[in-house]
Amino acid sequence: MSEQHFGEAVKRFFSSLAKLQGGLGPMGRKLEGCLLIPHELLHLLAHRLIGKPCRYRWGEPRVTSLTPLSRREELFVLLMPLAITWGISLGLYLTAFFTLVYLILPELTSPIHSYWHDVPRWHFGLLLLAMLFTWYGGVSTRDIVMASRLLFGAERAQERRH
């Protein structure tokens, strides 16, 4: 696929996403705001960590920076929720893997077939929690798009100047 066709496909995809978000209505936007509260609180924490003031009202879909951020600061604020949620899920997956290998499998008397019957229920819960954190990391899709625009838009602007 050529770069031009890929760029057109990406534009069509994001324009269809914009149409979808526009059709949520007031109730959908309120629900979106409530589901995003932990995500936005991580943005708030990122602002606090770099020492920049910001504004957030409970249930709003985004945190507003009160002072301009540098490119690095903006990238940090945008990507911190994704790094935290996927970092937690990676830690949970690794914990599940190592407990399986070192605690559960040595105690099983028969092959992996008995895993489904003999495994402790907390192990399934650990995997489910890891999957939920991975899924919730998908909330950061808009942030990833904005970060890529920030990174690649600046590169394109530099290319145009030269």
- pTM for the whole thing? 0.68
* Range name among 10-19, 86-95, 127-136, 148-157 with the lowest pLDDT average: 10-19
Q: Is the pLDDT of residue 6 over 70?
A: no
pLDDT (average), residues 91-118: 77
Confidence of residue 32 (pLDDT cuts 50, 70, 90): low
Confidence of residue 92 (pLDDT cuts 50, 70, 90): very high
Q: Is the pLDDT of residue 17 over 60?
A: no
* Range name among 53-57, 64-68, 109-113 with the lowest pLDDT average: 109-113
Q: Would you kindly state where each structural domain of the chain is located, as residue ranges?
A: 25-161
55: tokens are 């504004």
Confidence of residue 89 (pLDDT cuts 50, 70, 90): very high
* Type of residue numbered 110: S
pLDDT of residue 46: 92
Q: Is the dihedral of CA 85, 91, 97, 103 positive or negative?
A: negative
Crossing angle of helices 121-136 and 71-99, rounded to 10°:
160
* Type of residue numbered 139: V
Rounded Cα gap, residues 121 and 38, in angstroms: 27
pLDDT (average), residues 125-154: 88
Confidence of residue 102 (pLDDT cuts 50, 70, 90): confident
